[in-house]
Structure 1
């Protein structure tokens, strides 16, 4: 009985900042028609954080396309240190991995009609996944996990724009929270819209 009481006290008085999770849900659409959903979750443990983004969509593009997309990004403090992106489709599967080792990133990216194996020799503090939990007010560049590229962030009047391998994406925020993202994609452009305000 003492051990149960002790466990209860530990869990009850555990500092909130020690472990916290934030979950956001989004609808994904093409030309106003819903094609799937996305769930973005951020888990914070002490000073470290992990962002997990999962989406599943289906649409018609010269045949039925089904896409199951998963991004997992890890930060030590505010330093982006690792990510893995897996996209599974009925047309093929792709995987991109970025990892910080000593003083540089190793990038191994496989995407739709795209491959990149390289090193990036500077620290980066923002990633594609970060856009879902933080408005990039003072961010000049970010790591695009799916392509393994460090790309600039440009502030416009009502949105932020990024150019990832020729694809321009726009992020719109309301009171610091992502409201929607308009994404260019090699196969089809789509809109990601927050479900709950």
Structure 2
């Protein structure tokens, strides 16, 4: 059910790519690439995470999110998430249906089916390109639901949903690090300069 990112003609679109290392306890476990593709017809955010490590056996997680927005009003039109891991394969979709969203989230140990009637304009994918100054909530595609945003200090924001918490760090408006809190060990997503 995932949609693909179209091929851009440079005269009509612009692509901004950011690369990150995914670390646990200071060791690189994988990479993440996020692209923002702007064209006259849409703004697409394409995120790919690829993690592999040994923990009493080989652990592999491949995660891809593609979120497409209207370029005029910045409203989310569709988001698809594909996850492949040792625990199975999972797919989620959030689709605008002219007057509402159909939300069908199925991820490892998490499922949610819902309808959202209000337009969604700011999502977790946009956090990679926009500091959430003045915002108090963000729509988390992975959960198909809203998370709260709390500014903790200049350039730092705590994002919470249910029992999960992440912290986003910005320098001069650019995301440089995300700390994903985990009961065993925190994951750090760090911008590669």
**Under TM normalisation by the shorter chain, which class is it?**
0.7 to 0.9
Q: Where do 4+ consecutive residues of structure 1 move more than 6 Å?
A: none
Q: Distance in 2 between matches of 1:103 and 1:32?
A: 46
- 1:56-103 CA distance string (max 9 Å, x none): 001234432100010000110311121001110122111111011122
Tell me, in whole angstroms, the C-alpha distance in 1 between the residues paired with 2:51 and 2:135.
30
Kindly tell me the number of residue pairs found equivalent between the two proteins: 182
1:101 equivalent among 86, 97, 121: 97
Give the C-alpha shift of residue 139 in structure 1: 2.3
Contact kept in structure 2, 1:65 and 1:91, CA below 8 Å: no
- TM-align CA RMSD: 1.8
Asked if 2 retains the 8 angstrom alpha-carbon contact of 1:96 and 1:147, the reply is no
* Contact persistence 1:70–1:85 (CA under 8 A): yes
Report the equivalent of 1:131.
127
Compared CA separation, residues 161 and 25, structure 1 to 2 (3 A): same
Greater Cα shift, 39-48 or 55-64: 55-64
| TM-score (normalizing by structure 2) | 0.88
Q: Which residue of 2 aligns with 1:116?
A: 112
**Bigger Rg, which one:** 1
Distance 1:99 1:155, change over 3 A: same
Partner of 1:191: 188
Following the alignment from structure 1 to structure 2, what is the Cα–Cα distance between the partners of residues 118 and 188? 31
2:31 is aligned with 1:37: yes
- Aligned with residue 136 of structure 2, among 114, 133, 140: 140
Partners of 1:69 and 1:174 in 2: CA distance = 26
What residue is the counterpart of 2:64 in the other structure? 70
Please give the residue correspondences for 1:43-62 in structure 2 after superposition, counting only pairs within 5 Å.
43-46=37-40, 48-62=42-56
> Alignment partner of 1:131: what SS?
helix
* Ranges in structure 1 where 5+ consecutive residues have no aligned partner: 1-10
More helix by share: 1
Cα displacement (A) at 1:190? 0.6
